[in-house]
Amino acid sequence: MSALGLARLLLRRDLALAWRQRGQVLLAIAFFVLTASLFPFAIGPDPNLLARLAPGILWVAALFAMVLSMERTFQADFEDGSLEQMVLAGLPLPILSLTKALVHWLSSGLLVTLASPVVALTFSLPPQLYLTLLASLALGSLSLSLLGTIAAALTLGARRGALLVPLIILPLSVPVLILGVMAVQAEALALSATPHLLLMGAFFLLLLPVASFATPAALRQALD
Amino acid sequence: MHFLANPGRFVRIADRVLPWVSALAVVLVAVGLYAGLVIVPADYQQGDTVRIMYVHVPAAWMAMFVYASLAAAAASGLIWRHPLGFVIAQSAAPIGAAFTFLALVTGSLWGKPMWGTWWVWDGRLTSVLILFFLYLGLMALVEAFDDPKRGQKAAAVLALVGVVILPIIKFSVDWWATLHQPASIMRLDGQTTIHASQLWPVLVMALGFTAYYIAVLLVRVKQQVLASRLRSLQLAAADA
């Protein structure tokens, strides 16, 4: 079977797995909403202040919600040996890594993005910013999923992996965070969000080859 | 590089080089500090606080230089399977973290009298802080595996991914012009904007720090090589 055919099978299988464990996926969304809703308690309910801080708060909450599920990306397949079987079946590691990143994005980044307008509503974010917020979260979370697969592969079989993944991911995700928040803030100041969104796209394209080198290199060491 | 691939030979050469590099580090840092703290006149605006520069700038250079050499060693380990590549990368990380910390602390001490604040979330400061966390991540990742080889290889891959931070740090002062001043010494137009009387102590300090880095690195790599030899001897004794 061709590599792309195998990748399609893997995609279908992983999405089916995610669908059957939808409680776990929903847990990440609940975590996102909960983290964001802590801020009005912490900084007070002033609607103007909350509207100004909303992009940053939503972005940090989305980042945390995504980091939570990153560690599991390869874990189950590694432990029961199916990762090894996939490699033996002829699935090239770079394609496997990118497929896993796509599954992670579909089951966390995309859902967090779709849930964000509801939270933004409670922060009284001006309605004309919703589209930019959705675009910046969708684009940025793609990069985060790629970074997440690198970290997940690097920490495969490590002790305290749950603590290591955030330590690796959070410094590397700062550019995404800065650009994502700046895009929404630029729109709020009636400037154009396009340059920031373009830069986020460039960052994603830069990460594609980096992740398709680094994740396979890390997986190969884990499978040795 | 292949000449040094034999760990035993590396240890012998390191033993011979070490006293010279250590002495060089002591002399250069002593000269640089005396020049920077005593000989060079105080700045007409900043007064004596400008003397922080003679530690701050070389430490910040070293923070990046150590990372670059760490990544190069990691790459040589991954690509050519150079046996000492991973060991050098692993040994360099805490030294680089220390230089980064020194640059951050001296910068903060300099920022309080000059900018009126210990810290701002400016592009340069933030990107150097990220570099510091990157060093910590590398050190944690090396330690996280039962098999030391696996930890070294994982950290090597992360080190290569982290190389993107270096150009970001270098050009952060041009991309986000906030509080940190732009480059005065290594500028794209080749025009150094620092007076020669202030420049030479900085360069002497940078060379002294480099010699110090090499000396500490040699000690640490030697210790790692001896430790792994001890481990294999113990394993052999246990088998027998």
> For tokens 């802590």, what's the residue?
A38
d(CA B211, CA B29): 9
Give the pLDDT confidence score for residue A79 in this predicted structure. 87
Q: Do B144 and A164 touch (CB under 8 A)?
A: yes
Residue A87: is its pLDDT beyond 80? Answer: yes
Q: Residue B122's closest chain A neighbor by CA?
A: A178
Residue A7: is its pLDDT beyond 90? Answer: no
Give the pLDDT confidence score for residue B2 in this predicted structure. 65
Q: Which of B78, B144, B160 sits opposite A158 (nearest CB)?
A: B144
* Residue B60 C-alpha, separation from nearest chain A C-alpha, in angstroms: 18
Distance of CA B13 to the CA centre of its chain: 22
d(CA A185, CA A197): 12
Interface A-B, measured as beta-carbon pairs within 8 A, has a size of 61
Q: Which residues of B touch A93 (CB under 8 A)?
A: none
List the single best residue of B135, B142, B157, B164 to mutate versus A (max A Cβ within 10 A): B157
Q: And the tokens for A22?
A: 């939808």
Q: And the tokens for B143?
A: 């330690």
* Residue B3 C-alpha, separation from nearest chain A C-alpha, in angstroms: 27
Q: And the tokens for A130?
A: 């919703």
Residues with Cβ within 8 Å of residue A204, at least 6 apart in sequence: A139, A142, A143, A146
The amino acid occupying position A160 is: R
Give the pLDDT confidence score for residue B111 in this predicted structure. 85
Q: Do B140 and A157 touch (CB under 8 A)?
A: no
Q: Residue A207's closest chain B neighbor by CA?
A: B161
* Residue A186 C-alpha, separation from nearest chain B C-alpha, in angstroms: 15
List the single best residue of B127, B161, B165 to mutate versus A (max A Cβ within 10 A): B161
Distance of CA A143 to the CA centre of its chain: 7
Answer whether A77's CB lies under 8 Å from A83's CB: yes
Asked if the interface predicted TM-score (ipTM) of this complex is over 0.85, the answer is no
Maximum C-alpha span of chain B: 73
* Residue A61 C-alpha, separation from nearest chain B C-alpha, in angstroms: 20
Residues A5-21, mean pLDDT to the nearest whole number: 89
Answer whether B18's CB lies under 8 Å from B215's CB: yes
Residues A123-142, mean pLDDT to the nearest whole number: 91
Look at residues B103, B122, B128 and name the one whose alpha carbon lies nearest to residue B179: B122
d(CA A161, CA A149): 13
d(CA A46, CA A26): 29
Residues with Cβ within 8 Å of residue B57, at least 6 apart in sequence: B185, B202, B205, B206
Question: Is-above-0.80 flag for pTM?
Answer: yes
C-alpha distances in Å from residue B216, one per residue of A45, B51, B221 = 54, 26, 9
Residue A20: is its pLDDT beyond 70? Answer: yes
Give the pLDDT confidence score for residue B200 in this predicted structure. 85
B145 interfaces chain A, CB cutoff of 8 Å: yes
Give the pLDDT confidence score for residue A86 in this predicted structure. 87
Distance of CA A109 to the CA centre of its chain: 5
Q: Do B144 and A214 touch (CB under 8 A)?
A: no
Query: pLDDT tens track of chain B, all 240 residues?
Result: 666 777 788 888 888 999 999 999 999 999 999 988 888 877 777 777 888 888 999 999 999 999 999 999 999 998 888 878 899 999 999 999 999 999 999 998 888 888 888 888 777 888 899 999 999 999 999 988 888 888 888 999 999 988 888 888 877 777 766 677 777 766 656 666 677 777 888 899 999 999 999 999 999 999 988 888 898 899 899 887
